Chain A
Amino acid sequence: MNRRTLILGAAGLPLAQAALARPALAQEAPFRIGLILSMTGPFASTGKQIEAAVRLYARQNSAFAGRPVEILLRDDGGAADATRRLAQELVVNEKVSALAGFVLTPHALAAAPIAARARVPMVVMSAATATVTEASPFVFRTSQTTPQVTVPLAGWAAENGVRKAVTVVSDYGPGLDAEKWFGQRLGAAGGTVAEALRVPLANPDFAPFLQRARDAAPDAVFVFVPAGVGSIFMKQFAERGLKDAGIRLIALGDVLDDDILNGMGEPALGVISSHHYSAAHDSEANRRFVAAFREAAGMRPNFMAAGGYDGMTLLRMAAEKVGAGAAGQALADAMKGMSWESPRGPVSIDAATRDIVQNVYIRRVERREGELYNVEFATVPAVKDPAKAAG
């Protein structure tokens, strides 16, 4: 080999490499999704539902716009400072195309500034405080907002003979949202809230609160507490004889989470709730989703799983709309106004608020084939988040 060919070769090498690499990049650079969930700690059941749904979706749709999907799962252990750190790592080191997950509101709020600075879209699959999507123009939500599911229930209650109610909520962001919007909607229909009780978040025993609710003799008790303790509430409600005293129990669907509903047994039967997803939702898309989820994860999907599954749908549809190299602002813009048929029914993303617009269903707990389900009997179509519509 003489000197000339060596130089030629050295000069040609980068060109050849570039020629080889470029088409490969466009076609096969994976679409990486940084999934931040609480896989340990008290909210681990939420994390597991969402993870199972996301993985199921990634198996059913292994490529977004021709790019293989890669899920990078990180566990924040339920601590918001960890969420922020993990979001930064995923964006800076792993160069993810999108962030997703976020079990609680503080987690989503901690990651939002990272998404905004890096211009990476983030899909909130669980956190439900109304303000979450206002934290950054890159935040999208595929779960629900608490006011969104509360207002239809208050409307239903007012139409069905509830004049006087007692509200029992956990003393945290979504709980206070629920208390406020329930009271407003019921008040607008001429009803009153006799007592607005707030329960500490780590509350072991509901006895005193239930006794107080009973003594106020309302037509109904409205409850919103996290799913786990919700079942204890339900049992103590039945045991304290509030049902026999003619007091109805109405709840947000969170309390009757599909994940644990079946274990609640008799006390849950007949409880009325409002929510955007039930595993018993009567549609072909949902039957397919539930069957596939059961087979993959060995459990019943709940509304968190629906949020995770739809978050993936949103990302895939947006990626395909943009085409090759979808990322950043273009990907975010494509997500605005997107609509599709979800297992929960028709949904869309409000282009102005980046929040989900969906049907809210009024359901009653019934026994079907030996298992308890939330069976939908009334639909309030295409509900937007009332908190943002009002402001």
Chain B
Amino acid sequence: MLTVLFDGIAYGMVLFILACGLAVTLGLMNLVNLAHGAFAMAGGYAALVLVNAWGVPFLAALPLVFLATAALGAVMERTLYAQVYARSHLDQVLFSVGLIFMAMAVVDYAAGPSQQFVRIPDALRGRIEVAGVGMGIYRLLVIGICGAVALALHLALARTRFGSQLRAAVDDARVARGLGIDVGLIFTVTFAVGSGLAGLGGALGADILGLDPGFPLRFMIYFLIVVTVGGTASIPGAFLASLLLGIADVAGKYYLPSMGAFIIYGVMLAVLVWRPQGLFGRAGAR
């Protein structure tokens, strides 16, 4: 059933764009940021304000959402996260969980507890048939955007000067600083981009995943699964893990509806038994 495969890919792509920022901060910056979903939620609500209240066209709103959440991420990184880089992982977990609850309360207060809907233009609604395979136009768009983002990210990290500076800063911050690399700035930019991507994911995914104040907690588990399965070291790892999980989840729910909810955890277990460091993890890394 190619339609099931298509839906699985679309779902996986949304997971990827939501989780890749977490893969970067957790894998490269060694920061446990459970509040990643809060940035995704912020992106969703930013899209809501832009599209529904201010009448910005949906596609034009997406880059604005990215910029807005990236800016929010940069501010948070400078003021709050910078304080916890050197702390233990437990401190980081407690800190970011606290942030989640604050974010949920703020959204609940400002926008109310109920489900919100970003208005998607009619042109993106509906469905087309290609060679007998029915595909939702919106999901097609999601696949396109997320695929492009994944490719761009991979190239930026693996091929550009900024990418090598980031990797150097992570591997040994002291030596990197000695070589004249502004480690603080690099971390800020990386964190901001990761948050911006989460925001973009929240805006794109709102139509598929829903949007309400419970979002960060509900999806935290999915992000963490993606990062664990993919290994924390690379963009391709997170990408493949997202696709694998998305397809397995959708196909599992289609072919075995009674077991549907457990498939994603089954896949995670199988992968971790086979490769405890994740699909693309470096064995023995950190």
Residues in A lying within 8 Å of B, measured CB to CB: 40-42, 44-45, 48, 171, 195, 197-200, 202-205, 207-209, 211-212, 227-229, 231-232, 235-236, 238-241, 259-260, 263-265
Contact = CB atoms under 8 A, between A and B. Distances in A.
Interface stretch (B25-33, B37-45, B111-119, B267-275): B111-119
Contacts of A199: 260
Contacts of A41: 214
B210 interface: yes
Q: Tell which of A41, A200, A207, A231 has the most Cβ of chain B within 10 Å.
A: A207
B254 interface: yes
19 contacts: A41-B214, A195-B257, A198-B257, A200-B260, A205-B11, A205-B250, A208-B7, A208-B249, A208-B251, A208-B253, A209-B253, A209-B257, A209-B260, A232-B210, A238-B125, A239-B126, A241-B134, A260-B114, A264-B117
Interface string B34-70: 0000000000000000000000000000000000000
Given A239-B127, A239-B136, A45 B208 contact: no
A42 B115 CA distance: 10
Interface string B196-238: 0000000000011110111000110010000000000000000
A371 B12 CA distance: 35
B7 A211 contact: yes
Contacts of B117: 231, 235, 263-265
A298 to B, nearest CB: 10
The list of the 3 closest CB pairs from A to B, nearest first, reads A200-B261, A208-B253, A44-B113
Contacts of B214: 41-42
Given A208-B250, A239-B136, A259 B108 contact: no
Interface of B: 1, 3-4, 7, 10-11, 105, 108, 112-117, 119, 125-127, 134, 136, 138, 207-210, 212-214, 218-219, 222, 249-254, 257-258, 260-261
A266 to B, nearest CB: 8
A45 B112 contact: yes
A40 B108 contact: yes
Contacts of A260: 114-115
Contact of A259 (B1, B114, B134, B208): B114
Contacts of B208: 204-205, 207, 232, 236
Contacts of A263: 115-117
B3 to A, nearest CB: 6
Contacts of B253: 208-209
Contacts of A211: 1, 3-4, 7, 254
Contacts of A202: 218
A202 B265 CA distance: 14
A188 B105 CA distance: 48
Contacts of A231: 115, 117, 210
Contacts of B115: 227-229, 231-232, 260, 263
A212 B126 contact: no
A208 B108 contact: no
Contacts of B213: 44
Contact of A241 (B4, B126, B251): B126
A263 B51 CA distance: 14
Contact of A205 (B119, B127, B209, B251): B209
Given A48-B112, A205-B209, 14 more contacts: A42-B113, A42-B212, A45-B113, A204-B218, A205-B7, A208-B4, A208-B254, A227-B114, A229-B210, A232-B207, A239-B127, A239-B138, A240-B134, A241-B134
B11 A207 contact: yes
B257 A204 contact: no
A204 B260 contact: no
Nearest to A168: B257
Contacts of B1: 211
A170 to B, nearest CB: 11
Nearest to B136: A239
A204 B113 CA distance: 17
B207 A235 contact: yes
Given A45-B113, A240-B136, A260-B114, A197 B257 contact: yes
Contact of A44 (B4, B108, B207, B210): B108
Contacts of B108: 40, 44
A134 to B, nearest CB: 28
A279 to B, nearest CB: 15
Q: Which of B115, B251, B252, B258 has the most C-beta atoms of chain A within 10 angstroms of its own C-beta?
A: B115
Nearest to B115: A228
Nearest to A48: B113
Contacts of A44: 108, 113, 213
Contacts of B138: 239
A239 B11 contact: no
A47 B120 CA distance: 30
A179 to B, nearest CB: 12
Nearest to A265: B117
Contacts of B125: 238-239
